Amino acid sequence: MRIAIDAMGGDHAPEVNVRGALLAAEEWKDVELILVGDAERMKPYLSDAPSNVQALHADEVIAADDEPVRAVRRKKNASMVVAGRMVREKQADAMISAGNTGALMTTGLLIIGRIEGIERPGLAPVLPTLDGNGVLALDLGANMDASPEHLLQYGIMGSIYRQRVHGINRPRVGLLNVGTEEMKGNELTKAAFGLLKNGPIHFVGNVEARDLMQGTCDVVVCDGFVGNILLKTMEGTASGIMSALKTEFTKSLWSKLAAAVLKPGLSAFKKKLDYTEYGGAPFLGIDGVLIKSHGSSDAHAIKNAVRQARIALQNELVSSISTEISRKRDVKE
């Protein structure tokens, strides 16, 4: 299987992208990796590259602050766009990027294209839970406004991803809502409830934001606006608490000593809360495997994204989604 890596995306590109690719290529010999980016800048890290790693020169780069749609349309030779084109033209089966999220979603939509029958692809990171299993949340920002039908498709795609990539047998799908009772919610969630209930998924009903961290479901669906609020509130609250704790812990000599004793536990715990530890976010509904790695990814994170893409390919993620969606449409017609 062939996986294209946008070597120029992310805060530490291209170094960590190349190093991560080398680590992955060493570990999985059945994978062929194509690093797309500035050949000159990649070169210093490629001296010991194994035979299943190639470099493909692309002379443009999409920056973190580029306006997504314009950048993808104009920079036709950007590393991200070239990687996307490889997937569309079946020269690669999957692509990975740690670059501009908006531009990557645009690349997915405009360059690679959607699976037939999917109205809106959704970005689906795994959010941290206390039990360490995480919860796949979608959509987290690809589409601000959603219809009930979109939420159903998110549920189906998320469920298939959890099965195929994480090996969860009968993933519990929840609808993010303001209460657990069936009649709760806004117009969108009230209308989506019935669709999800009758959908080809293991729907466990409404779930409240406050219970998500307890691991009440394996997949949670919401529109992209609400998903963004959820993710950013988690991040803001966690980082606010952590910085305030740090202040408490450095108040006196005694508290500094005490904090030193607790430090290893705290670090392990901080890692558990860090959703970037759970791997990249798949952009589900695109006609190819597309993994968004966090901008702050290190080589280890890039390697993990390759692992994710590899499992998704081995277990035929895209064709499973396609089959399920077309089956649903056949029933309708």
Q: Is 186 in the site for a copy of itself (CB under 8 A)?
A: yes
Under the criterion CB under 8 A, does residue 65 sit at the interface with a copy of itself?
no
Judged by CB under 8 A, which of 56, 226, 290, 291 binds a copy of itself? 226
Single residue of 258, 314, 319, 327 touching a copy of itself by CB under 8 A: 258
State in angstroms the smallest separation of the CB of 240 from a copy of itself. 4
Residue span binding a copy of itself (CB under 8 A) among the ranges 38-46, 51-59, 77-85, 220-228: 220-228
CA-CA-CA-CA torsion sign (108, 112, 113, 116): negative
Stretch that binds a copy of itself, among 117-125, 232-240, 295-303, 314-322 (CB under 8 A): 232-240
92 neighbors 6 (Cβ within 8 angstroms): no
Of 10-18, 28-36, 73-81, 236-244, the segment contacting a copy of itself by CB under 8 A is 236-244
Site string for a copy of itself, 144-173 (x = CB under 8 A): xx----------------------------
Q: What minimum distance in Å lies between the beta carbon of 171 and a copy of itself?
A: 21
Q: Toward a copy of itself, which CB reaches closer, 104 or 313?
A: 104
Among 23, 148, 225, 311, binds a copy of itself (CB under 8 A): 225
Q: Which among 50-58, 70-78, 221-229, 285-293 is the span making contact with a copy of itself, rule CB under 8 A? A: 221-229
Q: How far is the CB of 130 from a copy of itself (least distance, A)?
A: 6
- For a copy of itself, the binding residue among 30, 48, 187, 333 (CB under 8 A) is 187
> Which residues form the interface with a copy of itself (CB under 8 A)?
130, 141, 144-145, 176, 178, 185-187, 189, 208-214, 222-226, 228-230, 232-241, 243-245, 248-249, 251, 254-255, 257-259, 261-262, 265-266, 268-269, 272-273
